[in-house]
Structure 1
Amino acid sequence: MAKLLTFGFWNTLAGIILRNRAAIFIIIIGITVFLGFQWKNMRFSFTEANLLPDDHEVNIKYQEFLEKFGDEGNLIVMAVNDSSLFTPTKLKAWNDFNNSFKQYSEIDLVISISDLKTLEKKDKPARFELVSFIKDSIYTDKKVLEYKEELFNKLPFYEGLIYSNKSNTIQSAIYLNKDIVNTIVRKKFIENTLNPRIKEFEEKFGMDVKVSGMPYIRTMNSQNIMDEIQIFILAALLVTSLIFFFFFRSFRATFISMTAVIIGVMWAFGLLGLLEYEITVLTAIIPPLVIVIGIPNCIFLINKYQQEIKKHGNKAKSLQRVITKVGNATLMTNVTTAAGFATFALTESKLLKEFGIVAAINIIALFILCLLVITIIYSYMPQPKERHLKHLGKRWVERLVNWMEHAVKNRRITIYTSSVIILIASIIGIYTIKVSGSLLEDMPKSAGFFQDIQFFEDEFDGIMPLEILINTKRKQGVLKLPTLRRMEQLGELIEETPELSKPISIVNLVKYAKQTYYNGNPKYYQLPTSQERNFILPYAKSFESEAGAMNSYVDSTGQYARITTFMKDVGTEEMERIEANLAPKLEKLFPKDRYEVTFTGKALIFQKGTTYLVWNLIFSLGLAIVLIALFMAWMFRSFKMIIISLIPNLLPLLMTAGLMGFLGVPIKPSTILVFSIAFGISVDDTIHFLAKYRQELKSNHWRIRKSVFAALKETGVSMFYTSTVLFFGFSVFMISSFGGTKALGGLVSATLLFAMLANLLLLPSLLLSLERSIANKKTLKEPALKIIASDDELLEEEEEKEQQQ
């Protein structure tokens, strides 16, 4: 009796479910309604994902920068590259268009051509004065051409800020109110005000306005994610339901399965709202993931129900046996899948923690839903007719199983040789994999905002701010001439780096002051000499007090200086190369005993965060492998069997990694996620096969060959069905416009396909080849947890219950 306690539990549970089916169904509806009300708490992320923990050194330095100079992520830029801009009508229209944004409370500052100030030298007293660049309200052809000539040829201070010399592109800067940058107000302003106004201006004046800046990119990217969630859910439902119907040829079975997974999707959204987690690129894939993972549960449960109906034709007994025979095995496979996701919760990344927690909870909830919904709905429906059971004896299915048996029986050397060749090729491919920390790489390449990003990269050498903080370690140290010269040399080094734009700092302002002192002659746009500094100083001091222009690049104590450059969308390796190239030169320019130089900014944080996240994901994958190995050790009580079972699951992971290397797909958060997801799912097939094999060994008196082929015949069809659904289900993600999501879908699909072949061909081949040392009674001790009940054990349990009654 002790050995049947597990089955006794499931038998009891089956009785409770079927006797209280109405009450349970009402409870499910109640939970669904409750979680539906939590949808109102769902919100999309309005900030860049900070992949680093708060106490990480890079984050601490960034917070120090923000305390001194404020948030640098509130800039939106608009640009036009139009030869007709410098005509009276269009220049006035462009300036009026930019000035119109000043009326909005969401905007702190607008800088366009009409807002430009130039320095003028005044005597008696000696001073600099800020005067408007455009002095007249009336635009004439002559005046407009004068403005163009002066801007492009006499004001190098504004190069890279307002204009690009590469193709005479003009840009404007819109600084959002910092209080709304990370809120939904920013999203509403951009979508409901900025974009419609830009479209209206383009249509009216026939000019193409390019828009970019981190707040704008984040908003448009979030909107794409929102749009794609709906597409993914509908596509996943359509694809999985079609494949399910193709296998079962039953509208009833398809309807019941879709009902279960749709409720699961509603629960997934409700849980995100209940926990008040933001919807990010990762959490956005959970609802379609629920569909893809839920359908295999339905396949195992419905397939077993129909097999039992075909065997004895008793509906009540069939439903009881579905719960008793398949419930335990399905629970175990869902637990292993959930465990793979749950390991993400142990990382230091907030992004991964939230994804892991929600995914793991939803997978377990999905198992409960499928078990309850399928058995309860079928209990109210008529017994399946003969036409609903035809798929169980399809010839093509029998041919598939026969082919697998033939391969395992007669082609084991071919299977092993192919596996070794794949392993060697995969290892070669793995050595070519690169790590990518690109902030923009996964964004949709066909989107208009992404094409605008490329425009700004070409014209202004980048759009993502990279900040350099210089601590002179003494008050007013920044304005010392030696420090300014060091900063100028650093600026020259930055300009020589192709991936970085022309830097902006207090040096630019000091150079402009000298140019102004020499009556605006652009050849004097340079730092003053020691002697010139004494002449210029009275003018510069008056300018500083009048305009406060240095506050953005020098802190109030004069000890800290800020240099801002913009970087192209480079990956982690390129950024590390840039840092390695600059490091020795920086150390020489700024001796550590007198200066401290720090690189920071959101773009750098993302890149550092990517490297950190990759290592966290590798840790979580390793942890998932260990946890699942321990779980299988508890189930099968055999260390040797653990090693054998891991081989067909690790080989597909290595194969996918090699494929990434050969195809040039880099390691990044979206692609490293592939391995944990695929491993957690593929090991389910191994558990099903080994559990059935263990049962067959006992039934067949430890005749190994007969047991292997019996297990292959029994589980092969279900494994093929579920793997096919998973393959096409994850392929749905390949329709995404996001590169990372597309890669995730393709790579997981490929990995699961490899895993299916490995579990159907390599695993049984290993069991047959190593039958003396591994697949024997001594090695396979009585399991701690019996996963599948044999018919004899169930019959014994049923007879015992009848005697007790």
Structure 2
Amino acid sequence: MLQWLSTSFWNFIANTILRNRIILLLAVTLVTVFMASQWNKMRFTYTEANLLPDEHEINLQYNEFLDKFGEEGNLIVIGFKDSAFFNAKNVKHWQDFIAPIKKDKSVELTLSIEDLKVLEKDTLNQKFKLVPFLNSEKISDAYLAEKQNQFFNELPFYEGVLFNKESGAVRFAIYMDKKIVNTQARKEFIIKYLNQDRIKTFEYATGIDLKISGMPYIRTLNSQNIIDEIGLFVGAALGITSLLFFFFFRSFRATLISMLIVTIGVMWSFGTLGVLNYEITVLTAIIPPLIIVIGIPNCIFLINKYQQEIKKHGNKAKSLQRVISKVGNATLMTNVTTAAGFATFIITDSELLTEFGIVASLNILFLFILCLIIIPIAYSYMPLPKEKHLAHLGKNYIQSFLVWIENSIRHHNVVIYTVAISVLVAGIIGIFQIKISGSIIEDMPKKAGFFQDILFYEEEFDGVMPLEIMIDTKRPKGAMKMATLKRIDELQETIEEIPELSKPVSVVNLVKYAKQSFYNGNPEYYELPTKQEEAFILNYIKNSTQKGSENMLKSYVDSTGQYARVTTFMRDIGTDKMKKIEERLQEKIDILFPEERYTVTMTGKAYVFEKGTHYLVKNLVLSLLFAILLISILMAYLFRSFKMIIISLLPNILPLIITAGLMGYLGIPIKPSTILVFSIAFGISVDDTIHFLAKYRQELKANNWRIKKSVYNTVREVGVSMFYTSVVLFFGFSVFTLSSFGGTVALGSLVAATLLFAMLSNLILLPALLLSLEKTIANEQEFLEPSIDILAEDDAEDHTNNNE
């Protein structure tokens, strides 16, 4: 037996806590103050989660693209579908709206009606020049009506970029400075210029409904929603758990002590984020309420034990001593298994999940320490609980529930196994219907205004999620060779045939526009130059790119001329469709761009996120298996019996299969948020198994290895705490269904359902298995002396009281 986890060790811990109450409370206070001081180091995420390891090939390709062309997600679009815009009054209001935006240092370029430039041929200098589309001195309704016709019918270069010719929808573009697009400056820019007051003022003056989108805008509002929901979750979790706690215990002081502990736990979790300098993401944002939900069962277990001891002998000092010494190991082991469920995320190689796993697992262990210190010390200063505070221990509804459990396992074993096998088979069938989803926007708040605007751009411009194709010609200035341009043009034709992708933009569009301008703006000449036209038209383009501020190629070709990019935008589509699109594009790329002459890579934030989801699913399946293995080893160490490991795992794996099956039947896809469910739920649900089997082993020894009596006594003894904690966990995780993020809702509801199934499984299937296998496990050899005493043995007088 390990001395450090022996009964004498826990007696020492109990004595130390109770003899050094002031010092320990002061230490907790000082640590809490320190953790609170670290809050100012917390950072909120300014971009989407990177689900891939830094050294992954997809990430390396994306970073190479960023090196050549800069951040691709720097475009903000402001659009509308209203022909009334093209009149003098509304254009003036637009100029007033956009003017301060154009002057801001955060803006690199704007493309809107008042500053739109068009190409004109300069025959004298044999080059193209950019001239304003509008003459500000001629603004009138008649002039703008003429320009409206020209805008939609004579500028094919901007079709699909600034307007939808078929529907009449228009969008203007703001290109943010790529250096600050993923910093705090982006948020400040959005709040200053694209706030609801400015937007509503413009809409009221013009009657035009503005639609705003683009990755900088989406990221900013999405991050703000995450921040707003932290307070919602913490408040709701505190509210629901405190109400449940009071309902169960009918004690204000027990409720206040528990709320104090979890509140300190929340403060420490925020402090941990600050100390480690981690960002607050959609995942780390749920850690504080998780601490509340997971912490309350600790409080229930310890306070319930204290009250049981008081009811037995009425000695406060003895009761407080036993709260620590008799259940210290059990509480530690259950917290270790819960922390292990979260800690398995650390092995995924995903920075997002690694940070989540580290912070969550650390704070679960911190919470155990807080409970073990504060609860005994707090009760040591309080009078003995009154009879009304102990009345819940014999509540009729609890006893009725436990009687139903006992009758089920006594008389209906066949029914229990039939139901278990049936749901197992149904779950496995449902698992094969699960789909994988890798969409950036799928989990975003569906009711938020910015999400509705995303739908507008999906309908009118085929999406706002950028998909990039980078072409390395392997030679300087190779991107401007006509052979390369023709290949890119053919690739773009394939992209245009795919309804889920928007009209692509590349250097090809510019060369086509140059030819149109060479022929005095006639849109019929919007096409690549012929062999005969190639020399002089490309020469015009080269002569036009000398001034850095008007370098028409810089967005499409890198400074060496070796790399070209093709940009398209994609709708929010399922992973299956995305995979088919990738295969179709790759097939065309392989035909058009031979490997010996070109290197072509698909990239972009949407592409990286989709690939990251697949990577994450594979790794999280491994992390779940690792969690099962880790906890199996822990169970082996605790019980030293292979049969007991199997018996303990079955009731906890079955709920996971049931939940996975429900996901398949209900069409809930596997994605970064939902895959977390299984490791979290498994780590928490095993706690009940540890409590049950630890008490069961104790009852076996006390009842001379009579298994039936031991099983029934165990159900009566631990059933109350298991019921209380499971109800709290169910409603606690249900708090996450208040979220506006689909992934958080799915996470909360699925974990809540899984833990409910796990409670029933541990209270019904587990004892049924023990009863059915009594001939093979009901002997002392199957219960060798454990490496760790999970529950200290009860005194003989306690057993007498229990069995009377």
The Cα of 1:795 is off from its aligned counterpart by: 9.1
1:775 aligns with 2:778: yes
Is 1:571–1:607's contact at 8 Å kept on the other side of the alignment? no
Is 2:2–2:787's contact at 8 Å kept on the other side of the alignment? no
Name 1:631's counterpart in structure 2.
Answer: 634
Is 1:166–1:459's contact at 8 Å kept on the other side of the alignment? no
Name 1:405's counterpart in structure 2.
Answer: 406
* Equivalent residue for 1:602, pick from 602, 605, 610: 605
Quick one: distance in 1 between partners of 2:277 and 2:94?
Answer: 43
Superposed, which structure 2 residues align to 1:491-570 within 5 Å? 491-545=492-546, 547-570=550-573
Name 2:733's counterpart in structure 1.
Answer: 730
Name 2:595's counterpart in structure 1.
Answer: 592
Superposed, which structure 2 residues align to 1:706-725 within 5 Å? 706-725=709-728
The Cα of 1:61 is off from its aligned counterpart by: 1.0
Is 1:572–1:611's contact at 8 Å kept on the other side of the alignment? no
Where 1:121 maps in the other structure, the secondary structure is: strand
Quick one: distance in 1 between partners of 2:737 and 2:137?
Answer: 54
Name 2:802's counterpart in structure 1.
Answer: none
The Cα of 1:758 is off from its aligned counterpart by: 0.4
Aligned length: 796
1:444 aligns with 2:445: yes
Residues 5 and 522 of structure 1: is their aligned pair in 2 closer, same or farther, counting only changes over 3 Å? Answer: closer
Q: Which moved more, 1:743-752 or 1:784-793?
A: 784-793
1:470 aligns with 2:467: no
Quick one: distance in 2 between partners of 1:4 and 1:132?
Answer: 80
Is 1:337–1:680's contact at 8 Å kept on the other side of the alignment? yes
User: Between the two proteins, what is the percent identity of the paired residues?
Assistant: 63
Quick one: distance in 1 between partners of 2:684 and 2:126?
Answer: 76
Q: After superposition, what is the alpha-carbon deviation per residue over 1:622-660, rounded to whole angstroms, capped at 9, x for unaligned?
A: 111100000010000011110111000000000000000
Quick one: distance in 2 between partners of 1:422 and 1:30?
Answer: 51
Is 2:479–2:562's contact at 8 Å kept on the other side of the alignment? yes
Name 2:459's counterpart in structure 1.
Answer: 458
Quick one: distance in 1 between partners of 2:400 and 2:463?
Answer: 58
Name 1:803's counterpart in structure 2.
Answer: none
Quick one: distance in 2 between partners of 1:27 and 1:544?
Answer: 67
AA in 1 matched with 2:612: G
Where 1:552 maps in the other structure, the secondary structure is: coil
Quick one: distance in 2 between partners of 1:312 and 1:92?
Answer: 85
Name 2:81's counterpart in structure 1.
Answer: 81
Quick one: distance in 1 between partners of 2:223 and 2:600?
Answer: 34
The Cα of 1:52 is off from its aligned counterpart by: 1.0
1:789 aligns with 2:792: yes
Name 2:23's counterpart in structure 1.
Answer: 23
The Cα of 1:574 is off from its aligned counterpart by: 1.9
Is 2:5–2:329's contact at 8 Å kept on the other side of the alignment? no
Q: After superposition, what is the alpha-carbon deviation per residue over 1:462-486, rounded to whole angstroms, capped at 9, x for unaligned?
A: 1011110111222222222221111
Quick one: distance in 2 between partners of 1:640 and 1:3?
Answer: 26
Name 1:365's counterpart in structure 2.
Answer: 366
Name 1:12's counterpart in structure 2.
Answer: 12
Name 1:107's counterpart in structure 2.
Answer: 107
Quick one: distance in 1 between partners of 2:675 and 2:539?
Answer: 59
Is 2:38–2:275's contact at 8 Å kept on the other side of the alignment? yes
Quick one: distance in 1 between partners of 2:741 and 2:49?
Answer: 16
Instruction: Give the gaps of 5 or more residues in structure 1.
Output: 797-805
Q: Which moved more, 1:631-640 or 1:548-557?
A: 548-557
Name 1:190's counterpart in structure 2.
Answer: 190
Quick one: distance in 2 between partners of 1:373 and 1:204?
Answer: 60
The Cα of 1:749 is off from its aligned counterpart by: 0.5
Residues 245 and 130 of structure 1: is their aligned pair in 2 closer, same or farther, counting only changes over 3 Å? Answer: same
1:273 aligns with 2:274: yes
Is 2:2–2:788's contact at 8 Å kept on the other side of the alignment? no
Q: After superposition, what is the alpha-carbon deviation per residue over 1:647-682, rounded to whole angstroms, capped at 9, x for unaligned?
A: 000000000000000000000110000001100000
Name 2:656's counterpart in structure 1.
Answer: 653
AA in 2 matched with 1:607: E
Is 2:107–2:174's contact at 8 Å kept on the other side of the alignment? yes
Name 1:349's counterpart in structure 2.
Answer: 350
Q: After superposition, what is the alpha-carbon deviation per residue over 1:210-261, rounded to whole angstroms, capped at 9, x for unaligned?
A: 1111111011001101111101001001101111111111111111111111
AA in 2 matched with 1:749: A
Where 2:602 maps in the other structure, the secondary structure is: strand
Name 1:330's counterpart in structure 2.
Answer: 331
Quick one: distance in 1 between partners of 2:710 and 2:539?
Answer: 96
AA in 1 matched with 2:106: E
Name 1:205's counterpart in structure 2.
Answer: 206
Quick one: distance in 1 between partners of 2:787 and 2:11?
Answer: 19
Is 2:706–2:778's contact at 8 Å kept on the other side of the alignment? no
Quick one: distance in 2 between partners of 1:121 and 1:189?
Answer: 37
Residues 253 and 81 of structure 1: is their aligned pair in 2 closer, same or farther, counting only changes over 3 Å? Answer: same
Q: Which moved more, 1:254-263 or 1:94-103?
A: 94-103
Q: After superposition, what is the alpha-carbon deviation per residue over 1:693-739, rounded to whole angstroms, capped at 9, x for unaligned?
A: 10111111111111111111111111011000000000010111100
Q: After superposition, what is the alpha-carbon deviation per residue over 1:270-316, rounded to whole angstroms, capped at 9, x for unaligned?
A: 11111111100110000000000000001111111111111111111
Name 1:90's counterpart in structure 2.
Answer: 90
Quick one: distance in 1 between partners of 2:535 and 2:790?
Answer: 88
Cα RMSD, aligned residues only: 1.6
Quick one: distance in 1 between partners of 2:633 and 2:354?
Answer: 22
Quick one: distance in 2 between partners of 1:637 and 1:794?
Answer: 28
Quick one: distance in 1 between partners of 2:397 and 2:588?
Answer: 69
Quick one: distance in 2 between partners of 1:661 and 1:725?
Answer: 27
Q: After superposition, what is the alpha-carbon deviation per residue over 1:485-528, rounded to whole angstroms, capped at 9, x for unaligned?
A: 11111001001111110000011111111112222111111111
Q: After superposition, what is the alpha-carbon deviation per residue over 1:746-795, rounded to whole angstroms, capped at 9, x for unaligned?
A: 00010000000000000000011011123322222111111111223899
Name 1:429's counterpart in structure 2.
Answer: 430
Q: After superposition, what is the alpha-carbon deviation per residue over 1:346-372, rounded to whole angstroms, capped at 9, x for unaligned?
A: 221111111111111100110111111
Name 1:801's counterpart in structure 2.
Answer: none
Quick one: distance in 2 between partners of 1:21 and 1:794?
Answer: 30
The Cα of 1:2 is off from its aligned counterpart by: 9.0
Name 1:51's counterpart in structure 2.
Answer: 51
AA in 1 matched with 2:724: Y
1:641 aligns with 2:648: no
Is 1:113–1:162's contact at 8 Å kept on the other side of the alignment? no
AA in 2 matched with 1:54: D
The Cα of 1:537 is off from its aligned counterpart by: 3.6
The Cα of 1:4 is off from its aligned counterpart by: 11
Name 1:298's counterpart in structure 2.
Answer: 299
Quick one: distance in 2 between partners of 1:669 and 1:273?
Answer: 24
The Cα of 1:573 is off from its aligned counterpart by: 2.3
Name 2:117's counterpart in structure 1.
Answer: 117
Residues 371 and 175 of structure 1: is their aligned pair in 2 closer, same or farther, counting only changes over 3 Å? Answer: same
Where 1:115 maps in the other structure, the secondary structure is: coil
Quick one: distance in 1 between partners of 2:538 and 2:721?
Answer: 83
Quick one: distance in 2 between partners of 1:116 and 1:70?
Answer: 23
Residues 489 and 775 of structure 1: is their aligned pair in 2 closer, same or farther, counting only changes over 3 Å? Answer: farther
Quick one: distance in 2 between partners of 1:452 and 1:646?
Answer: 47
Q: TM-score, normalised by structure 1?
A: 0.97
Where 1:561 maps in the other structure, the secondary structure is: strand
The Cα of 1:124 is off from its aligned counterpart by: 3.3
Q: Which moved more, 1:354-363 or 1:612-621?
A: 612-621
The Cα of 1:60 is off from its aligned counterpart by: 0.9
1:582 aligns with 2:585: yes
Quick one: distance in 2 between partners of 1:358 and 1:176?
Answer: 34
Where 1:320 maps in the other structure, the secondary structure is: helix
Q: TM-score, normalised by structure 2?
A: 0.97
Q: After superposition, what is the alpha-carbon deviation per residue over 1:443-478, rounded to whole angstroms, capped at 9, x for unaligned?
A: 000000000111111111110111101112222222
Quick one: distance in 2 between partners of 1:137 and 1:326?
Answer: 85
The Cα of 1:3 is off from its aligned counterpart by: 9.0
Is 1:412–1:765's contact at 8 Å kept on the other side of the alignment? yes
